[in-house]
A and B are shown apart, each in its own frame.
Chain A
């Protein structure tokens, strides 16, 4: 961002920025694959597109993941990259690795061909002749893959961005493809389109708040670099009103993306209406990415102001946990219930943010990884339970599933118990990690509320289990369709949930190491 000063100093002589391509490679690979995907759409024939897009997307995500591991393995001291625009450090690499693995698992669901989650042609009106024709021609919309790769690239950039402008661009790069992906469901298209409109209008509204917050902070500090804002605030230089208003508006934009309570209204609608594989992607990867950005902003930019923002964050965490857990009780749609459960989990994660310590950071990182796998697994099971009209969304349709297919019902029950935080599941380890960090950080009342909210949440998780196992199946109930890709996603989610519950130490150590140097600035 210092290029501007040089332009004033010497017109016509703009120094080339120094870019650390090695450190940015995971993001560059994912964006490169996204651009290649667009080219494939333009140049390859329709029968070839799916066959090219799927391996391309898998290869890109896998290559980016391997590169992330190599970067983390080298143990070089971290410093900011790309002229201070991006910070590739321990927590960022952990988050990026998590996002890439979760995106790979989501890709298994998105690439599932036998279930056909996506509309054949988004432009064809629902119920029209054009839709019938495109469906009977067996067209699949392969634009899904480049859109998803752009979204994942934005998600990788969001927690790494070290200045507010980069963060805003990353926020939009991750959001815009998701708005479109939400509207592409094959069945219940009206719901899907409505979800897309709601997500888009509210998302654009919240990013305008984010940007105005960034403008006020720029007005305060004369720079949008997080470290400069932190340094200015540390000196206590004037313009307190600008600073506090800027923090408040910026927080609106960030809290919207995680679905924390005053800004959660979009989450149930969008999770319910979007195609389920996209819901899985949003519930895992977007949450990880948004928490990464929130952690960086609060731990680097507003580090010296923690006495100002912590009380507000306490309040947000408390109402998020309580509202998420209480409203979920009354839900009758399975995806909507999981959406409210995701809101409650955002509240639990915020207790780790409030701790503002190394322990809180590592606990939040671990919780994000553990919860991401559990939630993808749960949504993968939702895609498997189908009847004539697609997925059996209503909870009453799940009655007696435990008798019809005990394995799938058992796996889903296990995911729900993991979300409730029963010991020997990853959910327990994750909750324990953030709650103990919050107690050490002096936020004991918050943890008491968190434990109470977990107890309320356990009630509605167990209610689903009771419906599945202890009620009589309907005569025309849904059947379970098992296909290899979805089954692999469920198996991966299940394995990670069990392993992180029984043997969490290696991943806890990894999160601890990642958090040991905190964020670069």
Chain B
């Protein structure tokens, strides 16, 4: 398989993640879709690193993983607090602020 195929896969995963963020209602699932987008990005970085023959892309993938882990910590904390208050993690229920 050429690196090009991995890029197509990465674009597909990124799109699935993006559509998921837009259509899903559960905050946890929305967040998982964001993580899917970040992982699609990692795949793109690694494939491009292979195509260019330098290691920059692979290094960047490590940074992205660390940042994504930090984001999980903060994100789950925020989603937990609102779930405990409202007994719901649906993003449609959080509708006090609008227009």
Contact = CB atoms under 8 A, between A and B. Distances in A.
B94 A198 contact: yes
A4 B58 contact: yes
Interface in A397-428: none
A387 interface: no
A180 B52 contact: no
A330 B98 CA distance: 12
A204 B45 contact: no
Contacts of B81: 122-123, 183, 193, 196
Given A126-B85, A191-B97, A197 B56 contact: no
Nearest to A171: B67
Given A190-B85, A219-B44, A219-B48, A211 B38 contact: yes
B59 A125 contact: no
Contacts of B94: 194, 197-198
A58 interface: no
Given A125-B84, A180-B77, A212-B41, A194 B71 contact: no
Interface string A45-63: 0000000000000000000
A219 B8 CA distance: 13
Interface string A97-122: 00000000000000000000000001
Interface in B48-99: 48, 51-52, 54-60, 63-64, 67, 70-71, 74-75, 77-79, 81-82, 84-86, 91, 94, 96-99
A324 interface: no
Contacts of B64: 168, 211
B55 A201 contact: no
Nearest to A178: B74
Give chain A's interface secondary structure class: helix
User: How many B residues are at the interface, by size bracket?
Assistant: 35 or more
A10 interface: no
A172 B34 CA distance: 14
Nearest to B58: A4
A169 B63 contact: yes
B75 A204 contact: yes
A433 interface: no
A432 interface: no
A208 B37 contact: yes
Nearest to B86: A190
A197 B44 contact: no
Contact of B44 (A205, A212, A222): A212
Contact of A8 (B7, B10, B55): B55
Contacts of A190: 85-86, 96
Given A201-B34, A204-B71, A216-B44, A269 B85 contact: no
Interface string A199-214: 0110011001001101
Interface string A128-150: 00000000000000000000000
Given A5-B54, A125-B84, A165 B74 contact: no
A273 B27 contact: no
Contact of A215 (B44, B52, B82, B99): B44
Interface in A287-337: 330
Given A200-B78, A208-B17, A208-B41, A195 B55 contact: no
A309 B96 CA distance: 37
A181 B30 CA distance: 21
A208 to B, nearest CB: 4
A7 interface: yes
B74 A179 contact: yes
Nearest to B30: A201
A1 interface: yes
Contacts of A223: 54, 56
A52 B92 CA distance: 42
A224 interface: yes
Nearest to A176: B74
Contact of B59 (A4, A183, A197): A4
Contacts of B56: 1, 4, 218, 222-224
Contacts of A169: 63, 67
A190 B82 CA distance: 8
A7 B55 CA distance: 9
A183 B67 CA distance: 21
A201 B58 contact: no
Given A191-B96, A222-B54, A183 B78 contact: yes
Contacts of B79: 197, 200
Given A126-B85, A223-B56, A195 B75 contact: no
B44 A1 contact: no
B51 to A, nearest CB: 7
A172 B31 contact: no
B74 A125 contact: no
A486 interface: no
B37 A222 contact: no
Of A5, A168, A194, A273, the most chain B CB neighbours within 10 A belong to A194
A251 interface: no
30 contacts: A1-B59, A125-B84, A168-B63, A168-B64, A180-B74, A183-B81, A189-B85, A190-B96, A191-B97, A193-B81, A196-B81, A197-B78, A197-B79, A197-B91, A198-B94, A198-B97, A201-B27, A201-B75, A204-B75, A208-B17, A208-B41, A212-B37, A212-B40, A212-B41, A215-B45, A215-B57, A216-B44, A222-B48, A222-B52, A223-B54
Going nearest first, the 3 A-B pairs with the smallest beta carbon separation are A4-B55, A208-B37, A219-B48
Given A179-B78, A197-B79, A269-B97, 5 more contacts: A194-B94, A197-B78, A201-B91, A208-B34, A222-B56
